[in-house]
Chains A and B, each alone.
Chain A
Amino acid sequence: MAGPNEARRVVVTGMGVVAPTGIGVDEFWANTREGTCAIGPITGFPLQDLYITIAAEVKNFDPQKYNLSKLLLLADRYSQFAGVAAAEAMSMAGIEGKVANGERAAAVIGSGIGGLNTLEKGYEDIFVLEKKATHPLTLLRTIASSAVAHVSIDYGLKGPAFGTVSACSTASHAIGLTYQMIRAGMVDFGVAGASEACLTYGSMRSWQALRVLSPDGLWPFAHRRNGTVLAEGAGLLVIEELEHARARGATPLAELMGFGMTSDAGDMVNPDIDGPTNAMKIALDDARLSPGDIDYINAHGTATTANDINETAAIRKVFGKDAEKVSISSTKSMHGHCLGAGGGVEAVAAVKAMQDDYVPATIGFDEPGKNCDLDYTPNEGRSRQLNYVMSNSFAFGGLNAVLVFGPPPA
């Protein structure tokens, strides 16, 4: 590749996560390293007649424990997840309370669907229980921009603030767009990612009807894989311009080096190979890296028949002979498919993997699935020097977003 990218450099200075495998980065990463599976029988609501009865839930989430603002305590679960993740990410970045120069700060926090728990309760109230009124906060809790609004309010982030919506690529698009705004000089830092809390009876019914859920587990790239498993959570990064971080004495955890986004423009559920291939290529070119530089890919790896074969083929197209030596894993095998939040949760996993020089496993792997013939780090994580890592998100509708991270600049 040609010389270094002339654009402003962007570093990660904070991370926050709420995941079925842990609330907070330390617990999340410890469980990810150990290969802990958070998928199990749904406990959050009555199953009634569902025949898909498993998910990965964020258990024991008590919003009162997290010193959230009064507004957030009244908000939907998905906004509260974002609030908790933002508090952790901002604190890690050394930012407490309202920021000093809010006009130069962005907040981009998306969601695949927004406050679905609230919406479903509202519908039950009016259509089933025939109540005279819905809760007065139903609208404000439901809108998919409420999480980002809450975070913007809590930290005085007065620059660009909005959510992205691209199903399972939502968080990666949010992080990538914030990165581009920092590079362009529009802002100096931002909090970016996504949040999702859509484990409800109605949501499960709609996913069940789509016939893509596994009745018993999420086993990416494996022979026995038979569908994905829904999850919930939030994953947010604080990213900022390198000199801005240095000037305020923040510690860069990683450099965000490349971002690629494409659309298959093909089918709502059947992914193609070219869209993901081009997204990975664009991200690598953006980072001024060659495929052989990437040591670890946190794969999209949903354990659906189509995704895992297509993602494998796309990796082969991008990496050529280097595909044989890159470590790959899908941490969804542990934390489930966090949908819109997936790319955020997985970006945290990718950065932690790089910091620890440790490739987390793809757990539940029996033997390679048909046309799944790469190194998916089956069942056991392993130590390996990780200089550069990639995080893939490929969503329904063929909406692709890829992030590339490298070591913090010396």
Chain B
Amino acid sequence: MDEVADKITAILKKNMKEPPETIALDTKLSDLEIESLDLAVIVFDIEDAFGIQIPYNANEDVQDFATVGSVVERVKALIDAKAA
């Protein structure tokens, strides 16, 4: 995994009560028992870590937040958009 993915998995683990040893890119957030309030906190931490703003709405079923990999891709896109 790359630096962005490493940072994101570290943030996920920080916000879990009993984090697993390894979190793969294809791991579903639902399998990590991450619920809407957890996700709001995780998104906040990610925004803070990367200096980006993620327009996440807990009322919408967003594919960007389905798996760890999809979160990583979304964050990379936002980092690129900010640099552009």
Query: Is B27 interfacial (CB-CB < 8 Å)?
Result: no
Q: How would you classify the secondary structure of chain B's contact residues: helix, strand, loop or mixed?
A: loop
Residues of A within 8 A of B39 (CB): 211
Interface string of B37-72 (1 = CB under 8 A from A): 101100110000000010111111000000000000
Q: Which of A181-238 contact B (CB under 8 A)?
A: 209-215, 225-227
Contact A51 B55 (CB under 8 A): yes
Contact B53 A211 (CB under 8 A): no
Set B40, B55, B60: member contacting A209, Cβ < 8 A: B40
Set A226, A267, A269, A270: member contacting B57, Cβ < 8 A: A226
Question: Whole-angstrom distance from the CB of B19 to the nearest CB of chain A?
Answer: 21
Contact A305 B37 (CB under 8 A): no
User: CA–CA, A304 to B40, complex, Å?
Assistant: 15
Question: Whole-angstrom distance from the CB of A388 to the nearest CB of chain B?
Answer: 32
Question: Whole-angstrom distance from the CB of B36 to the nearest CB of chain A?
Answer: 6
Contact A305 B58 (CB under 8 A): yes
Contact B59 A225 (CB under 8 A): yes
Contact B53 A304 (CB under 8 A): no
Set B44, B53, B55, B59: member contacting A212, Cβ < 8 A: B59
User: CA–CA, A209 to B54, complex, Å?
Assistant: 10
User: CA–CA, A352 to B37, complex, Å?
Assistant: 37
Residues of A within 8 A of B44 (CB): 209
Question: Whole-angstrom distance from the CB of B44 to the nearest CB of chain A?
Answer: 6
Task: Place the interface of chain A in its size category.
Answer: 10 to 19
Query: Is A268 interfacial (CB-CB < 8 Å)?
Result: yes
Question: Whole-angstrom distance from the CB of A217 to the nearest CB of chain B?
Answer: 12
User: CA–CA, A296 to B69, complex, Å?
Assistant: 47
Question: Whole-angstrom distance from the CB of B70 to the nearest CB of chain A?
Answer: 17
Closest to B61 in A: A305
Q: A212-B59, A225-B59 known; A270 and B35 CB under 8 Å?
A: yes
User: CA–CA, A215 to B35, complex, Å?
Assistant: 21
Set A211, A268, A269, A270: member contacting B56, Cβ < 8 A: A211
Contact A227 B57 (CB under 8 A): yes
Question: Whole-angstrom distance from the CB of B83 to the nearest CB of chain A?
Answer: 19
Residues of B within 8 A of A209 (CB): 40, 44
Residues of A within 8 A of B59 (CB): 212, 214, 225-227, 303-305
Contact B43 A211 (CB under 8 A): yes
Closest to A49 in B: B53
Question: Whole-angstrom distance from the CB of A315 to the nearest CB of chain B?
Answer: 20
Residues of B within 8 A of A227 (CB): 57-59
Contact residues of B with A, CB < 8 Å?
35-37, 39-40, 43-44, 53, 55-60
**Contacts A227-B59, A269-B37 given; 11 further ones with Cβ under 8 A?**
A209-B44, A210-B40, A211-B36, A211-B58, A226-B60, A227-B57, A270-B35, A270-B36, A270-B37, A305-B58, A306-B36
> Which 10 pairs between the two chains have the least Cβ-Cβ distance?
A211-B58, A227-B59, A305-B59, A211-B40, A226-B59, A269-B37, A211-B56, A212-B58, A304-B59, A210-B40
Interface pairs (13), CB distance under 8 Å: A51-B53, A211-B39, A211-B56, A212-B59, A215-B57, A226-B59, A226-B60, A227-B57, A267-B37, A269-B36, A303-B59, A304-B58, A305-B60
